[in-house]
Structure 1
Amino acid sequence: MSVLIAVTALPCGLLIGLLLGALGGGGSVLAVPALVYLLGQSPHAATAGALVVVAVGAVSGLACHARAGRVRWVAGAAFGALGTAGSFTGSRWSASVPPGVLMAAFSGLMLVVAVGMVMRGNRGNRDGRRAAAEETGAVAAAGAAGTATAAGSVRPAEPERSKRSKRPERSKRPREWATGAVSLWDAVRTSSGRRTAARASRDSGAGSHRTRPLRTVVTASAVGLLTGFFGVGGGFVVVPALTLVLGLEMPVAVGTSLLVILINSGAALATRAGTGSLDWPLLATLAACAAAGSSLGNRLAGQLRPQTLTTSFAALVTVLALAMAATTLPSL
């Protein structure tokens, strides 16, 4: 590995890790274009080497999610094991595909990733606005209940009394306001209880999700096939699959998907181990920079707007996909 390639690998790895840490997935799709167009690797070597970067990123992310209790080890291991056959098939199939066809198909995959990221960002914005509207409505209803109670507790006007007789009336005002405050608190607590009950009902519904064995096997095999053929983690596919097929909640699905990605990447890398030589110093440098960038991305995620990050990433992936298609399609 030359000094120029090593210097080029540093910002590439940092960018990939930064996107992985800030967006929680999708950044590994940039590893193959970086290895091919910037680091001088062949398409087949790039799809194999990208698995190393994906595996390292999955290990570092899995450790963080495991400490937070967001990994379902049995479900993730079973789903990943079911995908190893697809990963093996995808790896063998990718080795027999011409390089131009492989890169053209990869450009199509990048467009799919960009569209998926935009849709996920829009869905997150809608959910956030809906939750904010529910909170605003609950607070408004609670405020109205408290105002009505405070108004009802005011007594009618009484005949004019002496200054000495007015003192007890003045001392009763804090008691009236206290009554209104208690009513306001009761309304807020009732509204909060209703939301908690609704959330518990949804959680129990998710927990009682009925798993279909055939659907699970087909989905896991498709995820493994994608990982083996393109050399990507496939988190943009694994997370929805775990949510829809196994009924996992989104945070748990994100953490468990890293275990699935690690298993599929390991199986695909083992399948490709004897098909060609890998530039291990280059891959180690790229993976180490990606791990450092992922840590930085986790810190920046809370300081930047998710919509801005998602839109910028989708725009970058779209531009790269169109450039790759313009380069590879005419030569087919």
Structure 2
Amino acid sequence: MTLALAVAAGLLIGLSLGALGGGGSILAVPVLVYLLDQTATQATTGSLVVVGVTSLIGAVTAQRAGNVLLGRGAVFGAVGIGGAALGAKGAAYVDDDVLLAAFAALMLIVGAIMAWRQLHHGRRGAHSARPHLDDPIISFSPTFACNCPRALKVLITATAVGLLTGFLGVGGGFLVVPALVLALGLPMRYAAGTSLVAITITSAAALAVRAGAATAPDWGVVATLTVASAAAAALGARVADRADTGRLQIAFTVLVLAVAVYTGARALPALL
């Protein structure tokens, strides 16, 4: 029964990631806790595996489609490693109910952001031109030059994203994409694919810090969830080509908000 639940949940997560380009990984923690009987600490650790592997596969797919700026994604991810390590260490000292309450609050924020985006969809024109790559933030040749305000944006946003990734075990695509748009000036088309590179790096860093330090999840369950999610992501991409993406996004937003309310209702009473 546990194996069947892991497969079904993995398919749902993968389909949402493939069809919507992100967001599905936020379901991994509640799935691991409430369907697969993992503690919050185990779930946030196991979720990093699901997030990291699925993001890596998605990044490879996006790279083949020409929608990834590998250098910028790698830099953003590398800057976020410090925050990811700090968040991963901090999670080990926080009570499970506090982790779940924080996760519920994050899901509510994510659901609100997704709803806001849907309400404002289409107001801004799409940018399809590939951004220029000859505008580095910091350069040393022929002379040293620094676009310091922009560098500070990258430092703050990447560290914040890494912190959330390490602490709550989420990919944070809903945070990385707007961060890449604001801090690096990437068009949305490239921000979505490039974010997967950054997520892969920060997830791997957080998992490395947690290895041996936190209570290990049931790796068999996590592996099953990861394989199902990764396999379904490709199918989700095909679904996106045929289905009404707007309706899919609305349905997923409702699902995220419902799971957030359920998670909060389970976690908050334990804190009072």
TM-score in same-fold range (> 0.5): yes
Instruction: State the secondary structure of the residue aligned to 1:126.
Output: coil
Instruction: State the secondary structure of the residue aligned to 1:61.
Output: helix
User: In structure 1, how many angstroms separate the alpha carbons of the residues matched to 2:159 and 2:111?
Assistant: 23
Equivalent pairs counted in the alignment come to: 259
Pick closer, same or farther for the CA change 1:25–1:35 going to 2, 3 Å: same
In structure 1, the gaps of 5 or more residues are: 132-197
In structure 2, the gaps of 5 or more residues are: 138-146
**Counterpart of 2:236?**
297
- Structure 1 residue 284 displacement after superposition: 1.1
The one-letter amino acid paired with 2:269 is: P
Residues 1:324 and 2:263 are matched in the alignment: yes
User: In structure 2, how many angstroms separate the alpha carbons of the residues matched to 1:44 and 1:110?
Assistant: 17
User: In structure 1, how many angstroms separate the alpha carbons of the residues matched to 2:136 and 2:49?
Assistant: 36
Residues 1:120 and 2:117 are matched in the alignment: yes
- Counterparts of residues 1-332 of structure 1 (less than 5 Å): 4-127=1-124, 212-275=150-213, 276-332=215-271
User: In structure 2, how many angstroms separate the alpha carbons of the residues matched to 1:50 and 1:296?
Assistant: 21
- Structure 1 residue 272 displacement after superposition: 0.5
- Structure 1 residue 28 displacement after superposition: 0.3
The one-letter amino acid paired with 2:49 is: V
Q: Can you list the C-alpha shifts for 1:262-320, whole angstroms capped at 9, x where unaligned?
A: 00000000001012223221111101100121111101112222221111111111111
* Percentage of matched positions with identical amino acids: 49
User: In structure 2, how many angstroms separate the alpha carbons of the residues matched to 1:66 and 1:303?
Assistant: 22
User: In structure 2, how many angstroms separate the alpha carbons of the residues matched to 1:74 and 1:236?
Assistant: 20
The one-letter amino acid paired with 1:80 is: G
User: 2:85·2:163 contact (CA, 8 Å) conserved in 1?
Assistant: yes
User: 2:86·2:163 contact (CA, 8 Å) conserved in 1?
Assistant: yes
- Structure 1 residue 121 displacement after superposition: 2.2
User: In structure 1, how many angstroms separate the alpha carbons of the residues matched to 2:164 and 2:10?
Assistant: 22
User: In structure 1, how many angstroms separate the alpha carbons of the residues matched to 2:89 and 2:131?
Assistant: 41
User: In structure 2, how many angstroms separate the alpha carbons of the residues matched to 1:208 and 1:269?
Assistant: 30
User: 2:38·2:217 contact (CA, 8 Å) conserved in 1?
Assistant: no
- Structure 1 residue 122 displacement after superposition: 2.6
User: 2:128·2:187 contact (CA, 8 Å) conserved in 1?
Assistant: no
Instruction: State the secondary structure of the residue aligned to 1:274.
Output: coil
Q: Can you list the C-alpha shifts for 1:9-39, whole angstroms capped at 9, x where unaligned?
A: 1110000000000110000000000000000
**Counterpart of 2:142?**
none
The one-letter amino acid paired with 2:155 is: V
- Structure 1 residue 70 displacement after superposition: 1.6
User: 1:13·1:287 contact (CA, 8 Å) conserved in 2?
Assistant: yes
Q: Can you list the C-alpha shifts for 1:142-171, whole angstroms capped at 9, x where unaligned?
A: xxxxxxxxxxxxxxxxxxxxxxxxxxxxxx
Pick closer, same or farther for the CA change 1:278–1:203 going to 2, 3 Å: closer
User: 2:42·2:217 contact (CA, 8 Å) conserved in 1?
Assistant: yes
Question: Normalising by the residue count of structure 2, what TM-score does the alignment of the two structures yield?
Answer: 0.90
- Structure 1 residue 221 displacement after superposition: 0.4
Question: Normalising by the residue count of structure 1, what TM-score does the alignment of the two structures yield?
Answer: 0.74
- Structure 1 residue 224 displacement after superposition: 0.3
- Structure 1 residue 126 displacement after superposition: 3.2
User: In structure 2, how many angstroms separate the alpha carbons of the residues matched to 1:233 and 1:218?
Assistant: 17
The one-letter amino acid paired with 2:259 is: L
Instruction: State the secondary structure of the residue aligned to 1:35.
Output: helix
Q: Which piece of structure 1 moves more, 213-222 or 13-22?
A: 213-222
Pick closer, same or farther for the CA change 1:84–1:254 going to 2, 3 Å: same
The one-letter amino acid paired with 2:202 is: N
- Structure 1 residue 123 displacement after superposition: 2.9
Instruction: State the secondary structure of the residue aligned to 1:212.
Output: helix
Q: Which piece of structure 1 moves more, 301-310 or 284-293?
A: 301-310
User: 2:177·2:195 contact (CA, 8 Å) conserved in 1?
Assistant: yes
User: 1:84·1:221 contact (CA, 8 Å) conserved in 2?
Assistant: yes
- Structure 1 residue 203 displacement after superposition: 6.1
Bigger radius of gyration, 1 or 2? 1
The one-letter amino acid paired with 1:60 is: I
- RMSD across aligned positions (CA): 2.1
**Counterpart of 2:144?**
none
User: 2:45·2:216 contact (CA, 8 Å) conserved in 1?
Assistant: no
